[in-house]
Amino acid sequence: MGKIAEWKDKFNSFNSDKIYLHGGHLQTIANWLEGKGTLPAPIEISFDPIHACNLMCQHCNAHRYLVGNNYRMTNQHLMELVEFFAKWGVKAICFGGGGESTLHTKIGEAIELSYKLGMENSLVTNGTVLTPDMIKTIVRCCRYVGISVDSASSEVYKIGRKVELFNETINNIDSLVKTNKQLGTHCDIAYKFLIFGYNQHEIFKACKLAKSLGVKDFHVRPADFKHQGMGDLKKTNSEYNVDFINNEFEKCHAIEDENFRVFTVIHKFNKDFTPQRNFTQCYASPIAMQICADGNIYFCPDTRFVEFFKLGTHINIEDIPKFWGGERHKELVSKLGCAECKSRCTYAPYNEACERLFINIDDPMIRNLI
C-alpha cells in the first residue's frame, strides 16, 4: 500500500504548513531568543473558560484534572479577558474548555464579543448540550467548530463515553449544518474521530454518516496512547490494525466531493501511528497561549495543569504581558520544555519549521530566491 494522502487540497486548516503564513512571527521569536527585541502577543489563545464536563471520557486530554475539580471563570473575568486579548493584538481564540466549554453559561456572549472585536473564533465541543441559541451563535461567530464523536453508532459511542448521548450529538450536528445554511454563514463544521482499538472498525461508517449530515469536514487521526489522559485505554494500543485503518482512510477519501472534505491527519505520527518528533526544542510554542479556568496560564495546550509549565496567572489581567516573554518563558522555549514534556506535541510541525528555517542558520529552502 502506498502513502495515504491526508487531503486533496493542500490549502486547508488541518495542513500544518500554514505556519509558513506566520514566518514574520517565527522570525520575531527567533530574534527574541537571541535577545533582540521582545516577544509579541500570541497569534491564538487556547481558551478554557471552565474545567467541567457532562461526560468523563478516559481518552480526553483533560481527564486527569477534571476528576475532583470544577473550575469556572466568573462571567466578568471571562469577558474582560476577551477584551484584553483583542487590545493586545491576538488574532484568534479557540474555546476548548479543558472539558466542555459550552457548559459555561457566558460562553455564547464571549464568542460574540470576540467576533465583534475582530478576532476569529473556533470551538471544540462534544456537541451534547448545544441549545438553538448557542448553535446560532456558533455558526454566526465561529470560523470553525469541531464536534468530537469518535464513533458511528450509539453502541460504540457508549464504550468511549459511558453514556447514551449519541443521538443527541448527531441531532445537534444536523442543526448546526441546517442553521449554517439558513443563515448563509460560513462556519466550517467538522465531525471529529479519534481512533482507538474499540472504534477503528467504524471509521468509514462514521465518514459516510458525516457526509450524510452535510458537514464540510471529516477529521480523523490516531490517538496518543502515552498521553497523560488516556487511563485504561492505553491497553488498546496493541489493538491497532494499521493496514485496516489505512484501508478505511482510502475508502473515506474515495467519497470526497466539492462539498465534503476528508482529513486523515497522520503527518504528526510515524507509520505505526506513534507520535513523531522532528525537533529539539519548543521554538514555535509562543504562537499560542494556554489560558485555564483555574486562574493559571500554561506553556502550551499539552501542558495544562502541570506545575512545571505554569507561566503565571491571569487573575490580574494586566500582569500577563509582564511574564509573557520573560526569562522563565524563554528558558522553557529554548531549553527545558521539550525535555520535560512527555505527550504528543500539538505544535510538532510548527516547532520543526521554526527550528529549521529561523533558528538554524543553514536556510535549507533558500527563502529569498523565489
Query: Do 238 and 314 share a structural domain?
Result: no
Same domain, 55 and 177: yes
Domain tally for the chain? 2
Q: Is residue 300 part of a domain?
A: yes
Q: pLDDT > 90: what percent of the chain?
A: 77
Amino acid at 178: K
d(CA 308, CA 354): 24
Q: In this structure, are 257 and 291 located in the same domain?
A: no
Q: Which of 302, 301, 298, 346 is nearest to 324 (CA)?
A: 298
Evaluate whether residue 365 is within a structural domain.
no
More confident residue, 144 or 57: 144
Residue (of 20, 3, 13, 12) closest to 352 by Cα position: 20
Q: Indicate whether 304 and 258 sit together in one domain.
A: no
**Domain termination residue (choose one: 230, 264, 298):** 264
Planar angle of CA 216, 144, 60, nearest 5 degrees: 100
Whole-number Å distance between alpha carbons of 140 and 124:
16
Residue 233, pLDDT > 60, answer no
Between residues 306 and 92, the one the model is more confident about: 92
With both helix axes pointing from N to C terminus, report the angle between 132-141 and 107-116 in degrees, rounded to the nearest 10. Answer: 20
Residue 7 lies in a domain: no
Whether residue 249 sits in one domain with residue 158: yes
Indicate if the pLDDT at residue 2 is higher than 60.
Answer: no
Residue 57: per-residue pLDDT: 81
**Pick from 24, 41, 44: nearest CA to 119:** 44
Q: Is 38 domain-assigned?
A: no
Helix residue ranges, H only, the chain: 23-33, 63-66, 75-88, 107-116, 132-141, 154-161, 166-183, 203-213, 242-254, 320-323, 327-331, 337-340, 348-354
* Residue 86 sits in the same domain as residue 230: yes
Helix (H) or strand (E) holding 220: strand 217-222
Q: What is the CA radius of gyration of the chain?
A: 20
CA–CA distance, 71 with 138 (Å, rounded to integer): 23
Residue 276 located in a structural domain: no
Per residue in 101-157, pLDDT (tens digit) is 999 999 999 999 999 999 999 999 999 999 999 999 999 999 999 999 999 999 999
Percentage of the chain beyond pLDDT 70 is 94
Q: Report how far residue 43's alpha carbon sits from residue 36's, in angstroms, rounded to the nearest whole number.
A: 20
Q: In this model, does residue 186 exceed pLDDT 80?
A: yes
- Domain that includes residue 95, residue range: 43-264
pLDDT of residue 228: 46
Is the pLDDT assigned to residue 188 strictly greater than 80? yes
Domain membership of residue 352 (yes or no) is: yes
Q: Does a structural domain hold residue 337?
A: yes
User: How many residues in total does the chain contain?
Assistant: 370
Look-up: residue for cell 473575568? 77
Residue 15 and residue 9: Cα distance in Å, rounded?
9
Q: Compute the half-sphere exposure of residue 350: CA atoms within 13 Å on the CB side of its CA.
A: 25
Distances (CA, A) of 182 to 135, 171, 185, 214: 12, 16, 8, 13
Clarify whether residues 101 and 235 are in a common domain: yes
Residue 5 lies in a domain: no
CB hemisphere CA count around 110 (13 angstroms): 32
User: pLDDT per residue over 320-347, tens digit each?
Assistant: 999 999 999 999 999 999 999 877 899 9
Same domain, 197 and 89: yes
Cα(33)–Cα(27) distance, rounded to whole angstroms? 10
Q: Do residue 293 and residue 339 come from a single domain?
A: yes
Residue 316's pLDDT is 97
Nearest alpha carbon to residue 96 among 227, 290, 230: 290
Residue 238 has pLDDT above 70, yes or no: no
Judge if 64 and 210 occupy the same domain.
yes
What is the spatial distance between Cα 7 and Cα 283, in angstroms, rounded to a whole number? 27
Task: Report pTM.
Answer: 0.94
Q: Which position has the grid cell 449530515?
A: 213
Same domain, 232 and 292: no
CATH number (domain holding residue 254): 3.20.20.70
Q: Do 108 and 172 have their domain in common?
A: yes
pLDDT for position 361 = 80
